[in-house]
Chain A
């Protein structure tokens, strides 16, 4: 049971390049989330999705784009990477019940030079 996976695990890119981070879950969870984690800020929500083709902004959406054509995939794209987007990115999923327990993927460490 793979659960929730992210790829790549590590990525180095340059300012201005487009980068896509992948997230895949095998639980058929309705909800998926993208967070970034930075020292001093904790986990901050970038975007989330309630179902295929339904996405909404979180706390820090600027500079990011998401899509969800299939329930199991939720890619995050940085259209033109900036140094301030250097961070660790976590994908999470949830069944979306009243208890809303979220389960996290292993993370992607992104460095923008």
Chain B
């Protein structure tokens, strides 16, 4: 079992819809969770971080964390074609500053 798992996609949604990206992790002591966006040929860009159970909203993005279920998700409202990218979930285990990355979910937003 991978430590951080994501569906590779592609996840295809129409413009204006809500895109829902999911991530599960295996280590219960994980404390910090991050979503990165990576455009093709570019470096990962941090878009959201979440540390407590519940929802965290930033503009069109909402991160949701459920530690009991070991599950973190990213919702993108009013999806735009410019949101088309690969979204990487990353988890920090409590004992170090290292991040463990999932393989990413490719999102396609159709005009």
Contacts and interface: CB of A to CB of B under 8 A. Distances in A.
Nearest to A35: B101
A100 B97 contact: yes
Interface in A77-113: 90, 94, 96, 98-107
A52 interface: no
Given A33-B98, A101-B46, 17 more contacts: A33-B99, A43-B44, A43-B101, A45-B98, A50-B97, A58-B98, A90-B43, A94-B97, A98-B32, A99-B51, A100-B92, A102-B99, A103-B46, A104-B44, A106-B43, A107-B42, A107-B43
B99 to A, nearest CB: 6
Interface string B91-103: 0100001110111
Name B's interface SS.
strand
B72 to A, nearest CB: 15
Contacts, number: 50
Contact of A104 (B32, B43, B102): B43
Interface residues of A, number: 25
A31 B98 CA distance: 10
B88 interface: yes
Interface string A30-55: 01010100001111110010100000
Contacts of B44: 43, 90, 104
B104 A48 contact: no
B80 interface: no
Interface of A: 31, 33, 35, 40-45, 48, 50, 58, 90, 94, 96, 98-107
Nearest to A44: B101
Nearest to B89: A42
Given A31-B97, A48-B98, A90-B43, A101 B49 contact: yes
Given A48-B97, A48-B98, A58-B98, A102 B46 contact: yes
B45 to A, nearest CB: 7
Contact of B103 (A42, A58, A94): A42
9 contacts: A43-B44, A48-B97, A50-B97, A58-B98, A99-B32, A102-B46, A104-B43, A107-B42, A107-B43
